[in-house]
Amino acid sequence: MKKCAVIDLGTNIFHLLIAQAAPTQPNGWAAIGHNRIPVHLAEEGIEHIGPAAFQRGLDALHQFHQQLRKQGVTPEEVRAFGTAALRTAQNASAFLQAIERTTGIRPQVISGQREAELIFKGVRQAVPFLHAPALIMDIGGGSVEFILAEADRVYWQQSFPIGTTALYHRFHKSDPIAHAEINALREHVDAVLADLWQALHLYPTRTLIGAAGAFDTLDELLNPPVSATYAAIERQGFEGLYPRLVASTLAERSQWPGLKPERRLTIVVGMVLIQHLLQRAHIREIFASRYSLKEGAIAECFQG
């Protein structure tokens, strides 16, 4: 039975997904292994991978390599993708060479457009699209991808360098975050997303599908754990959670049940980003997709 593995080398978290062909499954494959390891590559800023982050990344790949070997997956069956941090960091090439030297896995650094393409291919397997455009939003640590699409057609897609780690380092200086910092963040995001506002004018939608990052956190905080591939995020639930999170200190967030440790620093700026989009785009319904880039890449593997 054919196997394929995907490694998503994200700015904050490295993800591994191992799958095998499953013709009876709706998408033609089934997951047989997964892992996620926080690495925080941009801990010292997105322009440089610091020594501690460099080593954490290599340690994570070593763990993935051991898991792949145990499940009989060869390096040739692995597709590894580098995203925003590895597009930006000055020492990214040294990091990628170290990965290949120690594991035999050769990561590919992909463009923001390619990242958006894979995200769409993941989301479309998880969420039943209506015959009208929806806005997909994937919030990463280094970048945010937006895709305006229906089930079988992409109208517009673009990647923006406003990931939560980048926004945190630039705007979140106080604890809790100050109103002036929130306003500065919103003004910055509003200007950076000029192309998105124009695209939404051409292809209007009131539906937002969030994938990964802060949407995972919203899903975990607001919804009971289920095995479905997507979940609705009630607007009322978001509006109730938003002021509590934004007013919280890091120490208070450390006590929140359901909030993963690696999300505690950046979840506030992620929530401000989402709330600004909801208001600016007049979003009425929100869904959280539990599939994103890695599931899109797995689909490509088995289709190819």
At 97-151, the pLDDT tens digits run 999 999 999 999 999 999 999 999 999 999 987 678 999 999 999 999 999 999 8
pLDDT band at 275 (very low <50, low <70, confident <90, very high): very high
- Residue 224 domain-assigned? yes
Give the domain CATH number at 84. 3.30.420.40
Task: Give the residue-averaged pLDDT of 166-193.
Answer: 98
Q: Are residues 77 and 38 in the same domain?
A: yes
Neighbours of 83 (CB within 10 A): 28
Residue 221, pLDDT > 90, answer yes
- Residue 35 domain-assigned? yes
pLDDT band at 1 (very low <50, low <70, confident <90, very high): confident
Neighbours of 128 (CB within 10 A): 9
Residue 26, pLDDT > 80, answer yes
- Tens of pLDDT, residues 186-215: 999 999 999 999 999 999 999 999 998 899
Range from 46-60, 96-110, 176-190, 210-224 carrying the lowest mean pLDDT: 210-224
Q: Are residues 287 and 172 in the same domain?
A: yes
Q: Are residues 167 and 198 in the same domain?
A: yes
Q: Are residues 133 and 180 in the same domain?
A: yes
Q: Classify 171 as helix, strand or coil.
A: helix
Q: Are residues 159 and 283 in the same domain?
A: yes
- Give the sign of the dihedral formed by CA 121, CA 126, CA 132, CA 137: negative
**Per DSSP, what are the bridge partners of residue 144?**
139, 160
Residue 262, domain extent: 123-293
Task: Tell me what pLDDT residue 303 has.
Answer: 87
Task: Tell me what pLDDT residue 112 has.
Answer: 96
- Residue 301 domain-assigned? no
- Residue 117 domain-assigned? no
Domain boundary among 110, 138, 158: 110
Task: Tell me what pLDDT residue 151 has.
Answer: 86
Task: Tell me what pLDDT residue 300 has.
Answer: 96
Task: Tell me what pLDDT residue 181 has.
Answer: 99
Task: Tell me what pLDDT residue 235 has.
Answer: 94
- Residue 84 domain-assigned? yes
Query: Whole-structure pTM over 0.85, yes or no?
Result: yes
Q: Are residues 168 and 129 in the same domain?
A: yes
- Residue 13 domain-assigned? yes
- Per residue, what are the HEC states of 43-68? CCCCCCCCHHHHHHHHHHHHHHHHHH
Domain boundary among 86, 110, 134: 110
Task: Tell me what pLDDT residue 227 has.
Answer: 76
Q: Are residues 222 and 276 in the same domain?
A: yes
- Residue 299 domain-assigned? no
The average confidence (pLDDT) of the chain is 95
Residue 272, pLDDT > 80, answer yes
Q: Are residues 275 and 131 in the same domain?
A: yes
Q: Are residues 53 and 136 in the same domain?
A: no
- Maximal C-alpha separation, the chain: 56
Domain boundary among 110, 145, 178: 110
pLDDT band at 152 (very low <50, low <70, confident <90, very high): confident
- Residue 225 domain-assigned? yes
Task: Tell me what pLDDT residue 134 has.
Answer: 97
Q: Are residues 174 and 273 in the same domain?
A: yes
Give the domain CATH number at 147. 3.30.420.150
Q: How many structural domains does the chain have?
A: 2
Q: Are residues 139 and 82 in the same domain?
A: no
Between 223 and 193, residue with greater pLDDT:
193
Q: Are residues 75 and 148 in the same domain?
A: no
Q: Which tokens is 217 given? A: 């956190």
Range from 49-63, 103-117, 196-210, 217-231 carrying the lowest mean pLDDT: 217-231
Give the whole-angstrom CA distance, residue 66 versus residue 178: 44
